[in-house]
Amino acid sequence: TFMTNVFHDLRTPLFVLQGCLARVREQPGCLGEELPVMQGRLEFMRRLVEDMFLMAKLEDRQVIFDTDRVPLAALVQRVAEGGEVQASQKQVSLTWQVRQDCTAWGDEARLEQAVQNLVSNAVYYTRPGGRVTVTLERRQSRGAILVEDTGIGIPPEEQRRIFERYYTVSGKHKHHSSGLGLSIAQEIVHQHGGEIQLESTPGQGSTFTVLLPITEK
């Protein structure tokens, strides 16, 4: 199923590119009109291939993580501020708060990527006028980053599969991405000794909670 989805998502932009090139050959003057479409499809394929390569390396434990102190408050702020553009384009309110600051140990860039994937996913599945909230707090010996949304939610029977490679929630909400974002996030967090928990109610929203071991400053 994974490979079938990959083939489908590679074939579709290739057909678009082929059609654009054929039109440009017939009407060279339309290059300016077709170029943005071609660039968009090439960017999609690039992201897909990069995510597939990263996922394979993570599963084979071939990714070399940097090890340093990671201030989680600063990480949450960067991710939230970076997600504001995507949220504003969808007319979704994105806010963040730090209840207790704490410091993890690991690869800051990869942990930021994991949280960014969760935030991006939350914004995507939240309807215009909805809210996404990112919160940092301390839970005993672990830091907790909560990504809450008022989106479409996930049916109970699908929640256990949500982190599978290329799995998407059933229905018409097809995510225009590689479909590997949640799988990559989970693998990064697991390899940092943490976990991702999910609570979701269909029609009301979801909360993804990243739990990471923390160290004293």
Span 141-162, pLDDT tens digits:
999 999 999 999 998 888 888 8
Report pTM. 0.81
pLDDT of residue 217: 59
User: pLDDT tens digit string along 92-141?
Assistant: 999 999 999 999 999 999 999 999 999 999 999 999 999 999 999 999 99
Q: Alpha carbon 202 to chain centroid distance?
A: 20
Taking residues 203-211, report their average pLDDT: 96
d(CA 172, CA 152): 11
User: pLDDT tens digit string along 66-78?
Assistant: 889 999 999 999 9
Taking residues 178-192, report their average pLDDT: 88
Taking residues 43-67, report their average pLDDT: 85
